Chains A and B, each alone.
Chain A
């Protein structure tokens, strides 16, 4: 079966914030309405709705069912949910369109990260017998990975601070970014360790956020966007869940996913990498062979706003918008999931 041409035709994101008291439905509803209004499509034309979120974060099983209130279930709709980042829901929607069952899909995600201790909550996703009973938290696990990289000479604490400083400065130009600061790497290095060898700036800032994206195939995409962001390649790979059996100093799953998505076939203008930790951005750049000519995370990335379960789809939104505006021709969007870059999804998009 020939692969169908599929593009992102519209995106919507709400400003990232801390301490939101809105319900998940209230977080989602505005971005759903916003993204539909942007393309001016009738709701009945949306053949598939796909949602990414995490029940552990909501503190109740099947919490995602309530999200249907934000999209409306009458007339009947076809919908699905992924227990994970919205970018993984986008992958499911892309597959759905490939099957020919629909031409237009709406993908959305939400993360209320600040309503509980997110570092502890995400630990529930780890190995239930060997890791969860110790309650290490994702920051501590990332810190183990960072130390291994420092020991191996793969990167330095100054390299990590450069990533943070660039992200905080770039965020000054992003109205929906949460943390932003005109700061240098030297200033950041003078700040104390939180979970050594990580400092506060090495860890993505937990925030509350939501976003939505519309995908469309072929002529439908051309009718909905002036310059669609065509998906040229997309791939999702996973490293072993055994933390000790995984390389700490490279990301083989990210490298495979990037190669299969065609990242190396031509230059990449902009790469939006979902790196919740500074050293992980460096590992991802190496795994994907991203060179000096690629602007990494002009949005500020997940370091400045990390709405868990929505931060990956946010990368897709940011990358697609740069194609819509004409500021980039060939872009890469990435999503990670699990501790220490366990899962990696890579997508390459191009404008006409």
Chain B
């Protein structure tokens, strides 16, 4: 692995090839805010709160710090006025969904975001995908996934899988920045049989299709 030298907020940083800007910044104690980032998971780039200005080959662009790989000679700015304005709007948009999420309240304070700027759409989910990705990548149970698309996209448990896997796991719960996940699980629980299903039972018995 070849070593890469770049500059983050005026500091010289030595990084390995393949590292992302967020990872490189962390090695020298520069904090880039993230919401959808988790060290055990593949970078995803959903929340865009980690947006930074990266200049390489004379071109300055806005990139997602959690996704963008470091390049030799790159000059990164993590806290300019422009970035603060971008993050402010992002936080405001997310707060239209989850106005009481602690992480968002903290970010709102930092960037001066107004939680009431946009009309409320109380889905309570900011679609960071932490639960979906944690279940798929770390636990490999795929008990929860995205449904629908565009403005109607939402997280949803697969009841049959959730009945078997979730009751003694729930490792995704603390990851959720808004508690929407817990709410989704409570709703799913209403669909589940009281006990985890017995081995050998037909999964379609609920609909009465083949008599179990």
A and B form one complex: no
A residues neighboring B (CB under 8 Å):
none
